[in-house]
Amino acid sequence: MLDDARFAPSGGNRQGWRVVVVKSAAKRRAIGDLMKPVWDEYVAIGSTGVTPFTAAPPANYALTTVTPGHTPNDLLDNIVDVPVVLVVAADLGCIAMMDKDLERPAITGGGSIYPFCWNVLLSARSRGLGGVMTTFLSRAEPLAASVLGLPPTYALASTIFLGHPVHQPTKLKRAAVETFATIDSFDGSPFAG
């Protein structure tokens, strides 16, 4: 699957991804333990009707109405038993962040990493496997760095879990094209495809 994924596009073809295949049960437990509080906070914030961890208003949320507790998560609670756990990191020294000087968080560098992650998921599906990608570990990057030996010039991009699905989804509910695509400007006429 990684052999398939490596053909993903990346800026300048620099291929700035690095993958840690996490086999050690102790390391899996450690990263699972780091992700659980993030999951709990994510669920608690989401329960207030606010999108968790946004960079745009209302980004300054406070957990005043709910307190994060342990919210069960089969994936994190059973991380030792997941067939494949991959942690994908981005080499910050070779990814062009075209928007790094704007007065908002940079996002364009993800264009050189997430196609690789998507290719991992597509390759898994072509083999009858299922996959889940999450960015929860990124929120705990300072602690995860010591568990995984992450150099300071790298950033955590995603954790990918692969295994045998109970069933392969064939239909998912998605917004219609005309609800998110417009012609010539954001306030342009809807584009129906």
Interval 16-28: pLDDT, tens: 999 999 999 999 9
- DSSP bridge pairs for 25: none
Question: What pLDDT was estimated at residue 65?
Answer: 54
CATH architecture of 2-24+73-167: 3-Layer(aba) Sandwich (3.40)
- Summarised one tens digit per residue, pLDDT across range 32-78 is 999 999 999 999 888 888 888 888 776 666 655 556 778 889 999 99
CA distance 129 to 167: 9
Average pLDDT over residues 72-94: 96
Q: Which class for 36: exposed (0-12), middle (13-18), buried (19 or more C-beta within 10 A)?
A: buried
Half-sphere exposure of 160 (CA within 13 A, CB side): 28
Q: And the tokens for 29?
A: 């437990």
Helices (H) then strands (E): counts for the chain? 6, 4
- The single residue listed with the structure tokens 């957990």 is 63
The mean pLDDT of the chain is 91
DSSP-assigned letter for residue 189: P
Domain boundaries, the chain: 2-24+73-167
Does the N-terminal peptide bond of residue 58 adopt cis geometry, omega within 30 degrees of 0? yes
Question: What pLDDT was estimated at residue 25?
Answer: 98
